[in-house]
Chain A
Amino acid sequence: MDNSHVALVSMMLKSESFSPFRCDRNIALGINLTSLTKVLRAAQNEDILTLKAEDSPDVVNLVFEDPKTDRFSEYDIKLMDIDQEHLGIPDTEYAATVSLPSAEFQRICRDLNQLSESVAIECTKEGVKFNCSGDIGSGSVSLRPHTNVDDETQNVEINLSEPVALTFSLKYLVNFCKASGLSKQVRLCLSNEVPLLVEYGLANNSYLRFYLAPKIGDEE
């Protein structure tokens, strides 16, 4: 969860994405993301990455192997003792599910962020509408479902069980869109009174999910 308890991030990398994958027991590793980023920068794009941790770990071991040059880098990152309660996010049934290209979503969020700091997302049978109003004026982007025969990832798909209208903070949505590089499509799940789910699907059923709590309607 973030500092102000407004957003949640959940990332799942399924065991099928790894080869080999061996995990004898469930363990929780507390890793400082800043340290992890620093170490990962040392890797090159084509490297093979291996993660290892002992039974009662106080370091996690990362090995980068470059198959072509036979270069072997090994890093140990100290672990943190994160004594946090694990937040279980129940899989709820969402009233509306929208799939759209992630670049499109990123564009919409960036454009509307210029106008105002919050966006109202409305999902109806006709399509999904993002509108915002700010000091200089107001703006809105409407997307209708369409299928692109040539490129499946440009599809916009809407599944609706009841109309949904919620307001969210654009500051966080823009941050979520930074994951657009991971997947061509992004899935937005909305339901009234329930946090928004922004999901980037990864290979082998893995995912990166962001949850964002809706804003309360009584704004000035």
Chain B
Amino acid sequence: MALLVDKHRPRTLDTLSYHPDLSERLRSLAASGDFPHLLIYGPSGAGKKTRITATLRALYGPGVEKIKIDSRVFQTTSNRKLEFNIVSSNYHLEITPSDVGNYDRVVIQDLLKEVAQTQQVDLAAKQRFKVVVINEADHLTRDAQAALRRTMEKYSPNLRLILLANSTSNIIAPIRSRCLLVRVAAPTEVEIAGVLAKVGKKEGYKSCEPLEKRIAKDSARNLRRALLMFEAVHAQNDIVNEKTPIPPPDWEALIDVIAKEIVEERSPARILQVRAKLYDLLTHCIPATTVLKTLTFKLMPKIDDSLKADVVKWSAFYEHRIRMGSKVIFHLEAFVAKFMRLYEGNLLGMDIDWDD
């Protein structure tokens, strides 16, 4: 019972729906004998992962799609054991070093060196080099990126890296210069509506153009989100027409409720109630920074213009704290408390003087 997102994901470069010039480039890269290191970047839901799998399939054949997940234990210099997941097929490896947080340098050094120093053990391999895909490359620490740069340079006859990132701003310049940068732009609303129509036809749904256009607009040009919303609408209603309401994702609805509650009553009791909801979000694996950002944006329309700058400033401050700290609930609650203080102060006409 796969989600529409996965069921109808294009598997080859030919079946991709948009960015044909990009597919052409990737196809010629895969067909040529040599392959550079790649840095693929673009907003969420634009199709970076899909394109990488399609390119790997062009390089190594359909065996790339049979993947398994292994767990491996690394030991750091402080004798701390880290468990780390490696997704691999017979031909490539996929890792997310930022999963281990500040120790990603150890993972990069040990694992990549081991992979890179040895030749292909599978004699029937189509290519001489091995491919390692690194997810969330922009979450790598500076140390990890420095280690990566050396590895990339030295072992390039044997190892090709494909880095996936949301933006290149967090990638150091030496790594950017060692890679071919490929930008996957977010699809336009017309393209998203086209994909939804195609998927709808394959699934046997009745085509409803205004609804597809509405979903494309609400998804903020994120194709994954559009497909999930599409599936949710069809799952909840047997008959869809252009007036059918599109349910927002549950977590967003919950953050909406939190925002409303914070503005309604500003008191410690309310903070406690909000804490329960925040925990709910966190246990459902919604990243804390996403919660904070979405909450800030939902609070914006509810407050005075004079407050907006301050709220954004404190939101950024607590987001920074979340990244540096280890227990995110502290910082989320601190933001809620700070917001209540700001709002209350604004209501009473007080000018609060902050020392920090």
Residues 80 to 98 of chain A near chain B (Cβ within 8 Å): 82-85, 87-90, 92
Nearest B residue to A214 by beta-carbon distance?
Answer: B119
Q: Cβ of A164 < 8 Å from any Cβ of B?
A: no
Nearest B residue to A82 by beta-carbon distance?
Answer: B68
Residues 123 to 168 of chain B near chain A (Cβ within 8 Å): 123-124, 130, 154-155, 157-158
How far is A193 from B124 in the complex, measured between Cα atoms in Å?
13
Determine if B70 and A195 form an interchain contact, defined as CB atoms under 8 angstroms apart. no
The verdict on A8 contacting B122 (CB below 8 Å), with A83-B66, A85-B66, A219-B117 known, is yes
Determine if A216 and B117 form an interchain contact, defined as CB atoms under 8 angstroms apart. yes
Q: Closest CB-CB distance, B151 to chain A, in whole Å?
A: 12
Determine if A195 and B121 form an interchain contact, defined as CB atoms under 8 angstroms apart. yes
The 8 Å CB contact of A213, one of B66, B89, B118, is B118
Determine if A216 and B157 form an interchain contact, defined as CB atoms under 8 angstroms apart. yes
Q: Cβ of A45 < 8 Å from any Cβ of B?
A: no
Determine if B124 and A7 form an interchain contact, defined as CB atoms under 8 angstroms apart. no
Residues 174 to 220 of chain A near chain B (Cβ within 8 Å): 193-195, 211-216, 218-219
How far is A42 from B270 in the complex, measured between Cα atoms in Å?
58
Determine if B66 and A84 form an interchain contact, defined as CB atoms under 8 angstroms apart. yes
How far is A82 from B69 in the complex, measured between Cα atoms in Å?
11
How far is A3 from B154 in the complex, measured between Cα atoms in Å?
22
Determine if A216 and B158 form an interchain contact, defined as CB atoms under 8 angstroms apart. yes
Chain B interface size, under 10 / 10 to 19 / 20 to 34 / 35 or more: 20 to 34
How far is A193 from B123 in the complex, measured between Cα atoms in Å?
10
Q: Cβ of A36 < 8 Å from any Cβ of B?
A: no
The 8 Å CB contact of B115, one of A4, A194, A218, is A4
Q: Cβ of A6 < 8 Å from any Cβ of B?
A: yes
Produce 1/0 per residue, A8-46, CB < 8 A to B.
100000000000000000000000000000000000000
Q: For B158, list chain A residues within 8 Å (CB).
A: 216
How far is A145 from B119 in the complex, measured between Cα atoms in Å?
29
Q: Cβ of B88 < 8 Å from any Cβ of A?
A: yes
Residues 32 to 87 of chain A near chain B (Cβ within 8 Å): 82-85, 87
The verdict on A92 contacting B157 (CB below 8 Å), with A5-B93, A6-B114 known, is no
Determine if B123 and A4 form an interchain contact, defined as CB atoms under 8 angstroms apart. no
Q: Cβ of A169 < 8 Å from any Cβ of B?
A: yes
Determine if B123 and A92 form an interchain contact, defined as CB atoms under 8 angstroms apart. yes
Q: For B93, list chain A residues within 8 Å (CB).
A: 4-5
The verdict on A6 contacting B118 (CB below 8 Å), with A82-B68, A83-B66, A85-B90 known, is yes
Q: Closest CB-CB distance, B308 to chain A, in whole Å?
A: 50
Chain A interface size, under 10 / 10 to 19 / 20 to 34 / 35 or more: 20 to 34
How far is A169 from B120 in the complex, measured between Cα atoms in Å?
14
Nearest A residue to B120 by beta-carbon distance?
Answer: A213
How far is A197 from B66 in the complex, measured between Cα atoms in Å?
26
How far is A119 from B346 in the complex, measured between Cα atoms in Å?
72
The verdict on A84 contacting B114 (CB below 8 Å), with A5-B121, A212-B121, A216-B158 known, is no
The verdict on A3 contacting B119 (CB below 8 Å), with A87-B90, A216-B158, A218-B154 known, is no
Q: Cβ of B249 < 8 Å from any Cβ of A?
A: no
Determine if A193 and B121 form an interchain contact, defined as CB atoms under 8 angstroms apart. no
Q: For B124, list chain A residues within 8 Å (CB).
A: 87-88, 90
Determine if B115 and A5 form an interchain contact, defined as CB atoms under 8 angstroms apart. yes
Determine if B121 and A215 form an interchain contact, defined as CB atoms under 8 angstroms apart. no
Q: Cβ of A141 < 8 Å from any Cβ of B?
A: no
Nearest A residue to B90 by beta-carbon distance?
Answer: A85
Determine if B121 and A213 form an interchain contact, defined as CB atoms under 8 angstroms apart. yes
Q: Cβ of B63 < 8 Å from any Cβ of A?
A: yes
The verdict on A1 contacting B121 (CB below 8 Å), with A82-B68, A216-B155 known, is yes
Scoring A89, A194, A214, A216 by chain B CB atoms within 10 A of each residue's CB, the highest score goes to A216
The verdict on A215 contacting B118 (CB below 8 Å), with A3-B70, A4-B93 known, is yes
Determine if A7 and B121 form an interchain contact, defined as CB atoms under 8 angstroms apart. yes
Q: For A212, list chain B residues within 8 Å (CB).
A: 118, 121
Determine if A8 and B117 form an interchain contact, defined as CB atoms under 8 angstroms apart. no
Q: Closest CB-CB distance, A176 to chain B, in whole Å?
A: 13
Interface of A with B (CB < 8 Å)? 1, 3-8, 82-85, 87-90, 92, 169, 193-195, 211-216, 218-219
Q: Across the A-B interface, give the 6 residue pairs with the lowest CB-CB distance, nearest first.
A: A213-B121, A213-B118, A85-B63, A4-B114, A6-B118, A4-B115
Known: A216-B117, A216-B118; 13 extra A-B contacts, CB below 8 A, are A1-B121, A3-B88, A4-B118, A5-B93, A84-B66, A84-B89, A85-B90, A88-B124, A169-B117, A169-B118, A213-B119, A213-B120, A216-B158
